[in-house]
């Protein structure tokens, strides 16, 4: 449920933005910060949130994050100005940065390594993938019938249920080391560095990649992340042990997760705009049209978790990348006088299948390569990869769409821009396939070493 809500809240605002801008009388540019503020806080604090969970207790930090998520969701819904809403979204992002890695680390601790853990990870990731599609499914109907505030109010009952049952269902767990070393230098450099990186990606479509603000943020991010590596190489108790990045599965799984996020967010932006601006769909009609993709994402998550235990990470990630690539290719053929069943339905079916299966295998590959001692921060890294990928996908797709006439008032030019943006997503899907084939290939076990029967893979080094 946590994975579902966290991903849902990062996506559901997309459909409600026009209503928010009208309701609070804000410009389109200021309205975009309702989406970006959450993304910046969430993505920037994930590593530190995961580290807090490892050191202070995963159940404890999960409860703190959930309580903060409840309060911030209420504040978002009752916001009386854009400034209040953006501030509440920052707090909501902070709470999500505590909830997401802790819930995943708790899950890892509850199941032994092997098939059972893979199934649990697949379920967690699959539910998150469903959340990404459900945001498009329910966001429109909620906004049209109840008003934009209710996209935040729906978090409240779910948060209450999680607060009631978390102390009962979740055992307390933390890293085995009894020493609480927070690595403040590593936390500061990674947090600000990631925030600047995501901020630059978010800012670039509006200001330009070569603009002073975007270049400044990119340069600052590069310096801080470089300092982070230096700090971690010398820290007695580093935030993220650098040897973790020598694992091919950890690196490959994170890259695949980022690329899956980029394809998903890019596709969502282009298809949402095409359906509403060219085909004339209301948010409610478009949301109902996304049922097909949501159903296929459920099927894909089931197929993905079954495939993990039988054929391993690489075939599942590669197949999912192909399915999503075929999906965006079909969607890129949209026409100015298109219809739902001719232009959208086939592509949504294929895309949903890949979306359900791909992140399942990517997150399982990432976490299979780390020790339980750093499960929280490793989960944070996986979630940070998703946020960075999503921001990059939004920036790249938006830039392609606009440069090809997607911001025009003429339907034919708009359609051409949306098709070009979806073709760009196809290129990202090819990159994801390459990552799967190169980095997620299994390594034959050394003499005397047993292959993990749960996933058919051995954690390999770069």
DSSP string, 136-172: HHHHHHHHHHT-TTHHHHTHHHHHHHHHHHHHHHPPP
Question: What domains, with CATH codes, occur in the chain?
Answer: 2-171+239-439 (1.20.1250.20)
pLDDT of residue 454: 44
H helix and E strand count, the chain: 17, 0
Question: pLDDT (tens digit, 0 to 9) for every residue of the chain, 462 residues total?
Answer: 666 677 677 677 877 877 888 888 877 667 778 877 888 888 888 888 888 888 888 888 999 999 999 999 999 999 999 899 999 999 999 998 888 888 877 877 777 766 777 677 667 766 666 666 667 677 777 887 888 899 899 889 989 999 998 888 887 766 555 455 667 888 889 889 988 988 888 787 777 778 888 899 999 999 999 999 999 888 887 877 888 888 899 999 999 999 999 999 899 889 988 998 899 988 778 878 888 888 898 888 888 888 887 888 899 999 999 999 999 999 999 999 999 999 999 999 999 999 989 988 898 888 877 776 777 777 788 878 887 888 788 888 988 998 898 888 899 999 999 999 999 999 999 999 999 999 997 655 544 544 444 444 544 455
Strand partners, 461: 247
The string over 299-326, giving b where at least 16 C-beta atoms fall within 10 Å of a residue's C-beta and e elsewhere, is ebbbbbbbbbbeebbbbbbbbbbbbbbb
Please give the radius of gyration of the chain, using alpha carbons only, rounded to the nearest integer. Answer: 21
Q: What is d(CA 133, CA 295) in angstroms, rounded to the nearest whole number? A: 9
This prediction has a pTM of 0.83
Q: Which two tokens stand for residue 235?
A: 């820290």
Q: What is d(CA 389, CA 278) in angstroms, rounded to the nearest whole number? A: 27
Which residues have a Cβ under 8 Å from the Cβ of 418 and sit 6 or more positions away?
270, 271, 273, 274, 278, 334, 401, 406
For residue 396, the tally of other CB atoms under 10 A from its CB is 21
Helix intervals (H) in 237-282:
248-273
The string over 119-132, giving b where at least 16 C-beta atoms fall within 10 Å of a residue's C-beta and e elsewhere, is bbbbbbbbbbbbbb
Distances (CA, A) of 39 to 90, 142, 184, 225, 249: 8, 22, 22, 18, 26
Q: What is d(CA 359, CA 261) in angstroms, rounded to the nearest whole number? A: 9
CB 167 within 8 A of CB 63: yes
Chain centroid offset of residue 308 CA? 21
Burial of 283 (0-12, 13-18, 19+ CB in 10 A): buried
For residue 417, the tally of other CB atoms under 10 A from its CB is 23
pLDDT of residue 458: 46
Strand partners, 247: 461
pLDDT of residue 413: 94
Q: What is d(CA 198, CA 184) in angstroms, rounded to the nearest whole number? A: 21
For residue 328, which of 414, 260, 425 has the smallest C-alpha distance? 425
CB 328 within 8 A of CB 273: no
Q: What is d(CA 316, CA 437) in angstroms, rounded to the nearest whole number? A: 11
Which residues have a Cβ under 8 Å from the Cβ of 219 and sit 6 or more positions away?
none
pLDDT of residue 328: 97
Of how many residues is the chain composed?
462
Which residues have a Cβ under 8 Å from the Cβ of 313 and sit 6 or more positions away?
249, 253, 361, 362, 364, 365, 368, 436, 440, 442, 455, 456, 457
Q: Which two tokens stand for residue 223?
A: 């310096």
CA angle 157, 159, 161 (to 5 degrees): 70
């Amino acid at each position: 449920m946590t994975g579902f809500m966290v991903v849902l809240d990062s996506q559901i605002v997309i459909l409600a933005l026009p209503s928010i801008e009208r309701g609070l009388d804000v410009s389109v540019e200021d309205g975009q910060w309702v989406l970006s503020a959450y993304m910046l806080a969430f993505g920037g604090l994930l590593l530190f949130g995961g580290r807090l969970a490892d050191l202070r207790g995963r159940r404890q930090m999960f409860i703190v994050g959930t309580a903060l998520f409840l309060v911030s969701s209420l504040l978002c819904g009752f916001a009386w100005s854009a400034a209040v809403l953006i501030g509440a979204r920052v707090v909501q992002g902070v709470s999500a940065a505590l909830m997401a890695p802790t819930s995943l680390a708790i899950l890892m601790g509850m199941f032994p390594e092997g098939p059972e853990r893979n199934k649990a990870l697949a379920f967690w990731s699959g539910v998150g993938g469903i959340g990404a599609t459900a945001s498009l499914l329910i966001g429109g109907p909620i906004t049209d019938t109840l008003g934009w505030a209710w996209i935040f109010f729906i978090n409240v009952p779910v948060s209450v249920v999680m607060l009631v049952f978390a102390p009962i269902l979740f055992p307390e767990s933390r890293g085995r080391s009894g020493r609480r070393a927070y690595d403040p230098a590593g936390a500061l450099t990674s947090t600000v560095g990631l925030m600047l990186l995501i901020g630059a990606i978010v800012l670039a479509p509006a200001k330009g990649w070569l603009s002073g603000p975007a270049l400044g943020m990119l340069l600052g991010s590069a310096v801080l992340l470089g300092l982070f590596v230096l700090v971690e190489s010398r820290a007695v108790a580093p935030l993220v042990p650098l040897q973790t990045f020598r694992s091919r599965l950890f690196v490959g799984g994170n890259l695949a997760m980022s690329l899956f996020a980029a394809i998903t967010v890019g596709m969502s932006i282009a298809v949402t705009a095409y359906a509403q601006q060219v085909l004339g769909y209301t948010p409610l009609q478009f949301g109902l049209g996304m049922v097909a993709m949501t159903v296929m994402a459920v099927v894909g998550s089931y197929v993905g978790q079954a495939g993990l235990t039988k054929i391993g990470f690489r075939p599942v990630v590669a197949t999912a990348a192909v399915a999503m690539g075929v999906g965006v290719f079909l969607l890129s053929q949209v026409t100015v006088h298109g219809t739902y069943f001719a232009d959208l339905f086939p592509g949504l079916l294929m895309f949903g299948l890949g979306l359900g299966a791909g992140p399942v295998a990517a997150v399982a590959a990432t976490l299979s390569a780390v020790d339980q001692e750093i499960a929280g921060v490793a989960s944070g890294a996986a979630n940070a990869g998703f946020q960075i990928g999503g921001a990059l996908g939004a920036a790249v797709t938006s830039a392609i769409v606009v440069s090809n006439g997607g911001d025009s008032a003429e339907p034919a030019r708009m359609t051409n821009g949306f098709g070009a943006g979806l073709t760009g997503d196809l290129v990202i899907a090819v990159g994801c396939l390459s990552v799967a084939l190169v980095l997620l290939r299994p390594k034959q076990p050394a003499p005397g070493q047993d292959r993990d029967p749960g996933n058919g893979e051995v954690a390999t080094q770069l």
